[in-house]
Structure 1
Amino acid sequence: MKFKRILKYLLFLLLIISLGFLYSFSSKRNSDKKVSEIIIEFEDGDNNFLTHSMVNKLLIQKNKTVKNQAKSVIDLYKLENEVSKNPYVEKSSVFLTIEGKLKTVVKQRAPVARIITDKDSYYVDKQGVKIPLSNNYSARVMLISGVKNIEDIKEIMPLISNILKDDFLKKEIIGIQKSDANEFQFAVRSGDYKIDFGKLSEIDIKFKKLKAFYNKTFEDKTIQNYKTINIKYHNQVVCTK
């Protein structure tokens, strides 16, 4: 009985050693395997600012492409960080597949407005993060002028968000001008008239007034009679012809 117990123990120990050897051998073989292919995917099929070639050029290690390099020397964290630093990238994920392919999934920043200043022009996304202009893609977004610094951008983002969440306003308002008095005026798609919005107060109430005024003047076709539509005063819409 004692001999059988010892034999079972030795067989079990031998099995553990064999499995450990096979695992070690398999791991060593896998780590020596070279990257066979680089796959780049854009999340949600969004491929605007960046191209596959541009992302591929970011996947560099020791001044050369990671393709045909051993999996064991690939620094995934560093590669992912390099891709994420690109100003057009909101987030990225870089990983190796079992087949030895290096896969990169990129979510690009989505511009919601274009800021125009005397010295510069750039996009901002919904978080107010700056996005440089691109030769590959021109976004059709609202044009914002009169904004001078990051504080101005933070101030105007709630107004932009309110416009974008409304299907009608999103199509209708094509430009926003900020004055030195911190008041805002809109350019619209449906005519040459301007909308004086005033300061950033009672935003929801002002937009309700504007939409009610639109409903009436679109119906009787008098909207084109006006040069400015002023909604900054409480409980009234003041128009000039």
Structure 2
Amino acid sequence: MNIPKSKIKDYSLAFIGLAVVISLIAFVDDKASVRRCKNIDIELIDNNDQYYISTEDIEKHVTRNGNEPLRGMLLADIDLSTLEKRVKEIRQIEHCEAYGDLKGNIHIKAKPYIPYARVISSNGKDQYIDEEGRYFPLSKLHTERVLLLTGSYFNKQPDLTSEDEHLMKLVHTIRNDDFWNAQMAQLDMDRSGNIKFVPVLGDHIIEFGAPTNIEAKLNKLKVYYKQIMPVKGWDKFSTVKIQYKNQVVCE
């Protein structure tokens, strides 16, 4: 079979083009294999401008306090998955992603946990909880003003993720409401699950009962704060009970 000369020319040009592309890829791969790490760029994402851990702390951890430096290493010798695992070893970090670029930089994006409340333990080891009820350590860089969780109930809990749906709903409700977030300082829960609140203002204690019927109870309490307290005064009562249906009991 005779192939037209024009076709032969087209095939030859295509072959040459493919060979050039393959050569360029091989050249780039070869350059990448000898390229060295120039810089480490660490970014904290979704941290609400609260720095519970610093970028310097993260770099120290992934480089084992500088004993295993990344700068100057061949990029081909840097295991990005190992870097991610090292960052996730830091208990204040929820998620991490590491990648390199063509300029020789290693980028590490780390997402820290955001505290929703602080558990005050009887053994003196305080911890934060995140929005899902997972414990993580305090920070040496920042102390967040959040609801304090105290009481014997928390001494036995490894976290608040599995069997504490109603409690976490109450914590979320307090945190996400400007009025209650500003008013409530402490939530004390005993072993049977009954809750008392210590407010920021006033010397009274709020007996909430079990973390159920949350909206109804808080609505009653808001009526007390907005209608009764302005008339009776902040220090008129020492106890405000809202656990009973359709009533507020003040003593």
Q: What is the TM-score normalised by the length of structure 1?
A: 0.92
Distance apart, 1:218 and its partner CA: 4.2
User: In structure 2, do the counterparts of structure 1 residues 125 and 163 end up closer, same or farther at CA, with 3 Å as the change threshold?
Assistant: same
> How many residues end up aligned between the 2 structures?
240
Matched, 1:158 2:163: no
77-86 vs 40-49, which deviates more? 40-49
Which structure has greater strand proportion? Answer: 1
Matched, 1:102 2:106: yes
Matched, 1:223 2:239: no
Partners of 2:99 and 2:106 within 8 A in 1: yes
28-37 vs 149-158, which deviates more? 149-158
Partners of 1:217 and 1:223 within 8 A in 2: no
Partners of 1:47 and 1:108 within 8 A in 2: no
**Aligned residue number for residue 54 of structure 2:** 51
SS at match of 2:9: helix
**Aligned residue number for residue 64 of structure 1:** 68
**Aligned residue number for residue 186 of structure 2:** 175
The 5 A counterparts of 1:49-198 are 49-60=52-63, 64-119=68-123, 120-146=125-151, 147-150=154-157, 153-154=160-161, 155=164, 156-198=167-209
Distance apart, 1:11 and its partner CA: 2.4
Mapped partners of 1:114, 1:54: distance in 2: 22
- CA displacement, residues 110-138 of structure 1 (integer Å, 9 cap, x when unaligned): 11111122213211111111111232222
94-103 vs 216-225, which deviates more? 216-225
Distance apart, 1:41 and its partner CA: 1.2
User: In structure 2, do the counterparts of structure 1 residues 105 and 151 end up closer, same or farther at CA, with 3 Å as the change threshold?
Assistant: closer
User: In structure 2, do the counterparts of structure 1 residues 49 and 126 end up closer, same or farther at CA, with 3 Å as the change threshold?
Assistant: same
Mapped partners of 2:31, 2:54: distance in 1: 34
Mapped partners of 2:227, 2:242: distance in 1: 15
Distance apart, 1:63 and its partner CA: 5.4
Mapped partners of 1:3, 1:82: distance in 2: 61
Question: Which one-letter code corresponds to 1:105 in the other structure?
Answer: K
Mapped partners of 1:11, 1:181: distance in 2: 82
Partners of 1:49 and 1:88 within 8 A in 2: yes
SS at match of 1:186: strand
SS at match of 2:94: strand
Question: Which one-letter code corresponds to 2:212 in the other structure?
Answer: S
- CA displacement, residues 8-67 of structure 1 (integer Å, 9 cap, x when unaligned): 312221221112111210221123211111111111463522112111023338951211
Distance apart, 1:221 and its partner CA: 5.3
Unaligned 5+ runs, structure 2? none
- CA displacement, residues 145-202 of structure 1 (integer Å, 9 cap, x when unaligned): 1112337734222211111121100110110111233210000011111100011221
SS at match of 1:65: coil
SS at match of 2:16: helix
Percentage of pairs with the same residue:
27
Unaligned 5+ runs, structure 1? none
Partners of 2:134 and 2:159 within 8 A in 1: no
Distance apart, 1:82 and its partner CA: 1.5
Q: What is the TM-score normalised by the length of structure 2?
A: 0.88
